[in-house]
Amino acid sequence: MEMNGPAMPARAVAHSQSEMTELILPNDTNTLGNLLGGRLMNFIDLVGAMAAYRHARSHVVTASMEHIDFIAPVHVGDLLILKSSLNRAFKTSMEVGVKVWVENALAGTRHHVASAYLTFVAIDSQGRRVPVPPLEAGSDEERRRYEDAGRRREIRESEARRRRIPKFDPSTPVKV
Ligand SMILES: CC(C)(COP(=O)(O)OP(=O)(O)OC[C@H]1O[C@@H](n2cnc3c(N)ncnc32)[C@H](O)[C@@H]1OP(=O)(O)O)[C@@H](O)C(=O)NCCC(=O)NCCS
């Protein structure tokens, strides 16, 4: 991976902030009319990828999705509001935070239903990892998220060593 190019200028958190609104339809729900967890994860992945894509200005792949809290059910007919922004950029990876609300369009109220942290890795059109610009954490809140993302990365790395997660090697597929 080419890492010795000129230093990239930092990008502000606002540069990556993304928002998505979805109307929950019967196809998205279980037999009780509640949003399926997997469908919500799909929306979270999409809005998270938008933030990483905007920051990196390159293709991105999801490396991990963690810490998802499903706080309250979402029902058919609800409006789902998803917001994402970059918490921290590392070398080729970026941690993105996603927060999800349900809006009752009739009452004009919102409540928080889910949160998640995801890591995306920037790649070029050949699938090779590429460096990402540093993140400029300006406000106290942005700096807190930046520090927390560093702590989560340390925990993730020590967990990966403990679980002996193999490194991805496309040249050695396992025969079935
Ligand atoms: C994610 C992926 C690119 C990592 O490639 P790799 O060669 O194993 O990479 P490395 O272990 O050298 O790590 C590369 C970077 O990814 C990060 N990373 C790797 N696995 C990670 C994980 N499970 N969670 C968070 N970050 C991870 C590393 O911390 C490192 O970050 P840095 O460059 O900012 O320091 C590779 O595993 C992959 O392509 N996975 C499939 C992605 C995909 O298809 N997602 C959609 C799901 S179907």
pLDDT in tens, 26-78: 999 999 999 999 999 999 999 999 999 999 999 999 999 987 888 999 999 99
**Res. 4: pLDDT tops 60:** no
CATH number at residue 95: 3.10.129.10
The domain total for the chain is 1
Does the pLDDT at position 81 exceed 80?
A: yes
Range with lowest mean pLDDT among 24-28, 86-90, 133-137, 157-161? 157-161
75 lines ligand 1 (CB under 6 A): no
173 part of a folded domain: no
Distance CA 88, CA 159 (A): 20
Domain housing 104: 11-163
Atom nearest to 168 CA in ligand 1:
8
State the Cα–Cα distance between residues 85 and 51, nearest whole angstrom: 6
CA distance 111 to 19: 16
136 within domain boundaries = yes
In a domain, 5, yes or no: no
Distance CA 1, CA 137 (A): 26
Within a domain: residue 115?
A: yes
The answer, yes or no, to whether residue 2 has pLDDT greater than 60, is no
CB atoms within 10 A of CB 6: 5
Section 103-127 average pLDDT: 94
Residues 59 and 48: their CA atoms lie apart, in Å, by 13
Q: Is the CB of 121 under 6 A from ligand 1?
A: yes
The first and second tokens of residue 125, run together, are 């059109």
Q: Burial of 45 by CB count in 10 Å (0-12 exposed, 13-18 middle, 19+ buried)?
A: middle
Is 168 a pocket residue for ligand 1 (Cβ < 6 Å)?
yes
